[in-house]
Amino acid sequence: MLVMLVHGGASSQVKNREARNQGILKALNEGWAILEGGGSSVDAVEAAITTLEDNKNFNAGRGSLLQLDGIARMDASIMEGEHRNAGAVAALEGIANPIKVARLVMEKTPHILLVGKKAKEFALHYKVKEMKTNTNKRTEYQEKALKKGGAIVKIYKEIFGTVGAVAIDSKNLIAAGASTGGILGMLPGRVGDSPLIGCGIYADNSVGGVSMTGTGEKIIRMTLARNINYEMANGYEALSSVKRALREMLISIGGEAGAIAIKKDGDFGIAHTTKYMFAGYKTETEGPYVSDRFKIVQK
């Protein structure tokens, strides 16, 4: 049973709807082509996320938001469900595809998470493509926010855009990944949920796989990806599991988030607490289907 899910971020508003829908479709098709050709779910997830990182309409890779000092520092992670191995990078600067670096951390090192300058050195050692997104030209908003120590970060909920993918391949292996430029108004050095295993992503072949988008500060406190997997392990369908975990977050601490999840039997679910979430799916019998709205979860 092949399943490919992709997301391009939860948000309270929609910008560039058509371009984003097309971007999701492209990522979905690229991931699907790998699954259909007998490739692995890890390859499919990496390919789908790479496509979104290369697309300026998404907040990851080339389209990453800048931190308040005018520099893009990106986070990404990938996990495979067979051995539950994982790799991640945080606060990575000047590299086009953080998801590729996360995969290298998973496959070439005994570690899970590399950060900052050393993560970049590691990426360059493996010849991952560089990019120039860093800028010293701060916007008026950034100047103001920086002076206030990030005090006006409250408007961050206006824009999200973490990208992610989850897939199950012909060998029934599950993989999940996420990549992000963070959130609007973040202090320099801030790291969100996306590189944290169990928070931004999770994969376990005996249960399922999950990738998150939304406010990292809330997702981390709820260890949301692991919570969704836990709900699936307890027998709930994928969609119910996503809805239950998101609702628990809303009731206990509030917050904006969305998730894509696949169960080991191919059952999948997509839901969000925000008004919009760009995402798409393809299975052997359905899709490719792309939309900016799926199940909206309320208190």
Residues designated catalytic: 162
Smallest separation, CB 250 to ligand GLY (Å): 16
Q: Select the residue interacting with ligand GLY from 61, 164, 198, 216 (CB under 6 A).
A: 216
Contact 269, 258 (CB under 8 A): no
Smallest separation, CB 67 to ligand GLY (Å): 11
Distance CA 290, CA 47 (A): 18
Smallest separation, CB 33 to ligand GLY (Å): 27
Distance CA 72, CA 94 (A): 8
Q: Counting contacts by CB under 6 A, is residue 51 touching ligand GLY?
A: no
Beta bridge partners of 85: 80
Half-sphere exposure of 126 (CA within 13 A, CB side): 18
Amino acid identity for residue 16 in this structure: N
Helix 238-252, helix 224-233: angle, nearest 10: 130
Q: Counting contacts by CB under 6 A, is residue 183 touching ligand GLY?
A: yes
Four-point Cα dihedral 180, 181, 182, 185, nearest 10: -160
Q: Is the dihedral of CA 245, 166, 284, 282 positive or negative?
A: positive
Smallest separation, CB 194 to ligand GLY (Å): 5
Which of the ranges 96-104, 165-173, 179-187, 203-211 carries the binding residues for ligand GLY, by CB under 6 A? 179-187
Which of the ranges 78-86, 114-122, 177-185, 242-250 carries the binding residues for ligand GLY, by CB under 6 A? 177-185
Q: Counting contacts by CB under 6 A, is residue 198 touching ligand GLY?
A: no
Q: For 67, which DSSP code?
A: P
Q: Select the residue interacting with ligand GLY from 81, 164, 177, 182 (CB under 6 A).
A: 182
Q: Counting contacts by CB under 6 A, is residue 185 touching ligand GLY?
A: no
For residue 222, give the 3-state DSSP assignment.
Answer: helix
Q: Counting contacts by CB under 6 A, is residue 193 touching ligand GLY?
A: yes
| Pick 34 or 225: Cβ nearer ligand GLY | 225
Contact 149, 44 (CB under 8 A): no
Q: For 110, which DSSP code?
A: S
Q: Counting contacts by CB under 6 A, is residue 192 touching ligand GLY?
A: yes
| Pick 61 or 216: Cβ nearer ligand GLY | 216
Q: Counting contacts by CB under 6 A, is residue 8 touching ligand GLY?
A: no
CA 276 to chain centre: 15
φ/ψ of residue 91, rounded to 5: 55, 40
Smallest separation, CB 187 to ligand GLY (Å): 12
Which residues 96-155 are close enough to bind ligand GLY by CB under 6 A? none
Residue of closest CB approach to ligand GLY: 192
Name the H helices within 1-61: 17-36, 41-53
Q: Counting contacts by CB under 6 A, is residue 274 touching ligand GLY?
A: no
Q: Which residues bind ligand GLY (CB under 6 A)?
A: 162, 180, 182-183, 192-194, 213-216
